[in-house]
Structure 1
Amino acid sequence: MYQLAIFDLDGTLINSVEDLANAVNHGLQELHFPVHPLEAYYHFVGNGVPKLCERALPPDAKDQADALLKRFNPYYTMHCLDCTKPYPGIFSALERLRDAGIQLAVATNKTQDFAEKIVSHIFGEKQFNCILGGNASRPKKPSPEILLEIMQQCGTAPEHTVMIGDSDVDILTARNAGIDAVGCIWGFRGEEELREAGAKILAASPADLPRFLIK
């Protein structure tokens, strides 16, 4: 039986794409670059905000990624909860997992401050045993370090841990850490990407998670 379920944040627990898109587009406008429709951001996100900014810039302007990041951060700090919401059914799924004695954690490439702010606002202070976001000292997913650190903090072994995420990055991170993974097809990337990444278990909705994880 699983003792620890580690969740990705954006595209798995929350739909945050509109706030991310608005923050990047704000910066692009200030730098006088073209903005992108919301649909484009479903494929820009996934490897942290610096990579998001790089992907949003024109091919001949990638050297402006730092300038865009400096405009993104203050705007997103003020507006990261304007449109961001939990996916339908996620609260119930988390409650059932906790009731079964499974510890819950968050592993995201979103920076630590943003991750803590959003998670605490939407889910409260006590829903998750551990929240780890991106920082300068730890490589981003799909490096396994973030999962290994969470397992250490929660006192669980790889064979009793599972990663839940919506992208190939999450599936690869789980594989690199030697743990099981569940792909969430309700998120940003969809079923095809998850299957190509090697996801063997796919959840169509949060309601599937207790059925897969509680044994």
Structure 2
Amino acid sequence: MTLPPPTILLDLDGTIIDSEPGIVSSCRAAIESLGLAMPERTEIARLIGPPITDVMAYLLEGQGEHRVEEAVAAYREDYGRRGILDCAPYPGIEQALGTLHTGGARLVLATSKRRDFAVRILDRLGFSPLFSAVYGSSLGAASAHKDAMIAGIVRDLALDPSDAVMVGDRRFDVAGAHANAIRAIGVLWGYGTADELTAAGAERLITDTRELTLDTVARTLGRSPG
């Protein structure tokens, strides 16, 4: 029996692009626009990966928890105007995505970033033709959480979870995949750590974009490579 081509769900920040400078800068601008101060000991890993509402709740803890929605709006205004431009693809990721695409895999973006921002980034990098669908958050917070987002992808694409794998750099990616019976590949060139991804239960860890291949995906799915 011929197996269907795999569907590969990919995170954006920390997996395809290094977006730390723009995200941190826009977080700082948003907090300061409220007349507040960016926490001195900010854990950068807490800023990249979770939905922006969770990020702002973290940054406002103890100084303005009731202003989360205001901070989110300020972040989105600043990020959409300038922060979005301060990112770069990881070395080798363009070739890896191109090889997966030409090899027959269906690529789907699954990011907690707002969808219109994600589309702009993919367009700017020239990656949009490689993706069959782009999923991101909307102004509603629920769709930003990976478990709900991936559930929507499974439903919309009539996806068999056994034919899909999630690729991401944070525990949120792994947890969201597992909540939908999808296996996960953790990448170590982003913002998560091996300990974080292992504790989350990632089926496989890879350290270099050159390892993001159809053979790696096949092995993760329990298929014979090649």
Same fold, judged at TM 0.5 (above)? yes
- Structure 2 counterpart SS, 1:126: helix
The residue aligned with 2:208 is: 205
Q: Distance in 2 between matches of 1:102 and 1:37?
A: 44
The residue aligned with 1:45 is: 48
Shift of 1:36: 4.9
Shift of 1:137: 7.8
Q: Which residue, 86, 95, 100 being the options, matches 2:98?
A: 95
The residue aligned with 1:34 is: 37
The residue aligned with 2:160 is: 157
Deviations 1:125-159 (A, max 9, x none): 3110000001228543342x322333444454111
**What amino acid is the match of 1:168?**
R
The Cα RMSD (Å) is 2.1
Deviations 1:96-140 (A, max 9, x none): 111211010101111111111112212343110000001228543
The residue aligned with 1:62 is: 65
Identity across the alignment (%): 23
**What amino acid is the match of 1:70?**
A
**What amino acid is the match of 2:131?**
F
Contact 2:107-2:131 at 8 Å conserved across structures: yes
Q: Distance in 2 between matches of 1:137 and 1:80?
A: 21
Q: 1:79 to 1:38 in 2, by over 3 A?
A: farther
Contact 1:48-1:110 at 8 Å conserved across structures: yes
- Structure 2 counterpart SS, 1:162: strand
Q: Which runs of 5+ in 2 are unaligned?
A: 219-224
**What amino acid is the match of 1:118?**
I
Q: Which residue, 191, 200, 203 being the options, matches 1:188?
A: 191
Shift of 1:81: 3.3
- Structure 1 counterpart SS, 2:162: helix
Q: 1:118 to 1:80 in 2, by over 3 A?
A: farther
Contact 1:105-1:130 at 8 Å conserved across structures: yes
Provide the TM-score with structure 1 as the length reference: 0.90
Provide the TM-score with structure 2 as the length reference: 0.86
Contact 1:129-1:154 at 8 Å conserved across structures: no
Q: Which residue, 100, 103, 109 being the options, matches 1:106?
A: 109
Contact 2:108-2:133 at 8 Å conserved across structures: yes
Q: Which sits farther off after the overlay, 55-64 or 167-176?
A: 55-64
Q: Distance in 2 between matches of 1:42 and 1:162?
A: 23
Contact 2:165-2:183 at 8 Å conserved across structures: yes
Shift of 1:38: 9.8
Q: Which residue, 162, 175, 184 being the options, matches 1:172?
A: 175
**What amino acid is the match of 2:145?**
K
**What amino acid is the match of 1:198?**
G
Contact 1:185-1:204 at 8 Å conserved across structures: yes
Q: Distance in 2 between matches of 1:149 and 1:109?
A: 13
Q: Which residue, 135, 141, 148 being the options, matches 1:132?
A: 135
- Structure 2 counterpart SS, 1:183: strand
**Count of aligned pairs between the two proteins:** 214
The residue aligned with 2:13 is: 10
**What amino acid is the match of 1:93?**
A
**What amino acid is the match of 1:26?**
A
Q: Which sits farther off after the overlay, 35-44 or 21-30?
A: 35-44
Q: Distance in 1 between matches of 2:152 and 2:23?
A: 27
Q: 1:65 to 1:7 in 2, by over 3 A?
A: same
